[in-house]
Amino acid sequence: MRREVALMKLNVGYPGCFRRPSTVCWFRRRVRPEELLLRTSGTLSATLDGTPLAATMQSDGVFRLHPEREGTLLLRVETGSDGELLPGILPLPPLGWEASSDGVHFETALPGGDPAGDPLPTLRLTAEEYAPGRYDFGRELIGTVRIHSETRPEFGFGESTFELENRDPARSEQSLELVEVAPECWETPGALAFRYLRVEAPAPIQVECDAEFTPECYRGAFAADAELNRIWMCSAYTLRLCIRHFLIDGIKRDRLPWAGDLALSLLANAYTFADPEPVRRTLTILGDAGIEEQHVNGATDYTLWLLICHDLYLRYFEDPAFLERLYPGIAAMIDRLLESSTPFLPPGSWVFIDWVASRQEPERGWNSEEKESALQILFFQALEAAARLAERRQDTRLAERCRKRAGELKESLLRGFDARHGLFPANPARPELGFYRHANILAVLSGLVEPAMARAIMEKLCDDELPPVGTPYQAALEILAFHRAGLHETALARLRKIWGGMLRLGATTFFEAYDASQTGNERYAFYQRPYGLSLCHAWSAGPAALLPILFFGCEPAADGWRTFRIAPSPLCRGNEAATIPTPAGAIRLWREEGRLREEFPPEITPEEPRSTGHPVRRDG
């Protein structure tokens, strides 16, 4: 994926420390006297109970091994140091293998992709020419563009018609190159993110795209009014494009995983596709190098979000084997955080939280001092998540340390609450810095404050006195906080304003940022670049999860939805419906003739008693 970023000249710097992939891997299993066939990526050597075993290469590139007695077969696979291939095997039979990166400590081998590569499936699409040399594929896509033309065409692309007309490679967010792959056939070097194409050539041409789609099944659904239906479906499609080998942030610019973004894309995935694999991969790769040198993604708050995401993943998907495998690294990360009196900031790290302008210096970005309360409250939330992770592994000592530290931090944070304004300040030590929304949103979502206090805080945020959040990422968290505080109408109005506003601009996927006050082409600028805004960003898929929660209050109460909550809100007053996927099967909720109906698998149980004010018929 890093090579793809370079190939397509994506305008992104990807911070953080990441473990380099192993160039050697060992595989083993007990075998009987039988013929074994396998492909490898890398060179192969084999032993049977320590004795060298010949591996014969067949003409089709398949290795043949034939142990003549029962024993433990050990394979050593090594690739070059350039990282072009990862060591792997494709064996027949495929079951019963263990793997190791050091030849000593083995665990169950995990299925990945074909050792020769793991390309995503593609769908061949053709475009409609809506003006001379201008083509519209109808919606946002990521894929390889192919142009059949006698001569090299003049070429451009865009997520918007504004970006489409850019002819300056220096201002482009992706490569403008074309490669002649066959006579009169031109292709982009790799996959582009776009909706519109500009193809100008003197002779008739044909334009097509091999659009890439991870093979996901829409297991969740939501229905209310026409606008909300479109918002839910567009959120789900946004997420689908951003599920590749990992859950990435956006398809145009970064195409790489980020821990804070994962908090929203994980939730959206849980309510739409309920696919644990891209979440597992993303959690693994983000945390694999630890935080001794630098925070996750280079951002202090993203280390905290990674711990919160581990907790969320287990709540929605229940995967104790995954936690067991990653727990040593998770525990080391928690220990490192507990060593310091505040989340430490090693060289090269920073605090993100959100893209917001400073109140003190509006022309500059929000500085670290203005983010202090938000960071500390997020630290409290991460400590609570860390304690739950330790408790799942019966690591009582670490859980107690986390609970103790969280309790001390809670007392400190509550002492910093500004009772006169009814809000958490940006920085209790710097009252002149004023107030921002983020710390107060996190105070509600983390459970730092009691319900009555949460309601009072969120009522303060109903007006526009404080600066708005900067992205749909934080807007989704704010909407969830309004819901938690019982301000359901406000939550839904915010959702309609932001995501409905993008739909009214013609969006087919949701943007990295949205400001209703921006007009014309300025709305596509970001990072001080004219086409910098990503128009398909996973952290903006939040409504896929928010809408079933806002209307039906349906959330897991125990890992894997073994118990779950249903608490329909006053928003449920029409014929709303939702299907919510769980590891045990789907929960179906719908209103019919003024009554709430529900079906759910027998393996999971709703919390009782429930006081929803709505009659319920249980059908499953």
Domain limits, the chain: 2-108, 122-212, 221-552, 555-618
Q: Does the pLDDT at position 198 exceed 70?
A: yes
Bridge partners (DSSP) of residue 54 are: none
Mapped onto helix, strand or coil, the DSSP state of residue 224 is: coil
CA 269-271-276 angle, to 5 degrees, is 40
Contacts (Cβ under 8 Å, ≥6 apart) of 361: none
* Res 80: pLDDT: 78
Contacts (Cβ under 8 Å, ≥6 apart) of 120: 212, 213, 214, 244, 245
Residue-wise pLDDT tens digits, 297-342: 999 999 999 999 999 999 999 999 999 989 999 999 999 999 987 7
Longest dimension (CA), the chain: 82
DSSP 526: B
Q: Position of tokens 């709430």?
A: 596
Measured CA to CA, the distance from residue 240 to residue 211 in angstroms comes to 12
* Res 95: pLDDT: 83
The gap between the terminal CA atoms of the chain, to the nearest Å, is 44
Question: For residue 614, what pLDDT band results from cuts at 50, 70 and 90?
Answer: very low
% of the chain with per-residue pLDDT over 90: 80
* Res 116: pLDDT: 47
Q: Does the pLDDT at position 386 exceed 70?
A: yes
Token couple for 55: 């591996």
Bridge partners (DSSP) of residue 100 are: 26
Domain at 555-618: CATH code: 2.60.420.10
Measured CA to CA, the distance from residue 484 to residue 444 in angstroms comes to 7
Measured CA to CA, the distance from residue 374 to residue 342 in angstroms comes to 13
Residue-wise pLDDT tens digits, 278-309: 999 999 999 999 998 899 999 999 999 999 99
Cis ω on the peptide bond leading into residue 153 (within 30° of 0)?
A: no
* Res 119: pLDDT: 81
Q: In degrees to the nearest 10, what's the CA dihedral of 269, 272, 277, 281? A: -20
CATH of 122-212 given 2.60.120.260, 2.130.10.10, 3.40.50.300, 3.50.50.60? 2.60.120.260
Mapped onto helix, strand or coil, the DSSP state of residue 343 is: coil
Taking alpha carbons only, the member of 559, 388, 373 closest to residue 449 is 373
Phi and psi at residue 96, to the nearest 5°: 90, 5
**Residue 205 neighbours by CB distance under 10 Å:** 19
Whether the domain at 122-212 and the domain at 221-552 fall into the same CATH topology: no
Residue-wise pLDDT tens digits, 149-196: 999 999 999 999 999 999 999 999 999 999 999 999 999 999 999 999
How confident is the prediction for the chain on average, in pLDDT?
Answer: 92
Measured CA to CA, the distance from residue 130 to residue 564 in angstroms comes to 49
Contacts (Cβ under 8 Å, ≥6 apart) of 396: 390
Residue-wise pLDDT tens digits, 15-45: 888 877 789 999 999 999 989 999 888 899 9
* Res 619: pLDDT: 44
Q: What is the β-pairing status of strands 43-48 and 577-582? A: unpaired
Measured CA to CA, the distance from residue 425 to residue 90 in angstroms comes to 57
Token couple for 284: 């693994």
Measured CA to CA, the distance from residue 208 to residue 137 in angstroms comes to 9
CATH topology of domain 221-552: Glycosyltransferase (1.50.10)
Question: For residue 617, what pLDDT band results from cuts at 50, 70 and 90?
Answer: very low
Measured CA to CA, the distance from residue 352 to residue 371 in angstroms comes to 8
Residue-wise pLDDT tens digits, 556-569: 999 999 999 999 99
Residue-wise pLDDT tens digits, 447-463: 999 999 999 999 999 99
Measured CA to CA, the distance from residue 461 to residue 432 in angstroms comes to 19
Measured CA to CA, the distance from residue 506 to residue 495 in angstroms comes to 17
Measured CA to CA, the distance from residue 85 to residue 579 in angstroms comes to 41
Measured CA to CA, the distance from residue 612 to residue 131 in angstroms comes to 54
Residue-wise pLDDT tens digits, 408-440: 999 999 999 999 999 999 999 999 999 999 999
Q: Is the dihedral of CA 476, 477, 480, 486 positive or negative?
A: negative
* Res 93: pLDDT: 77
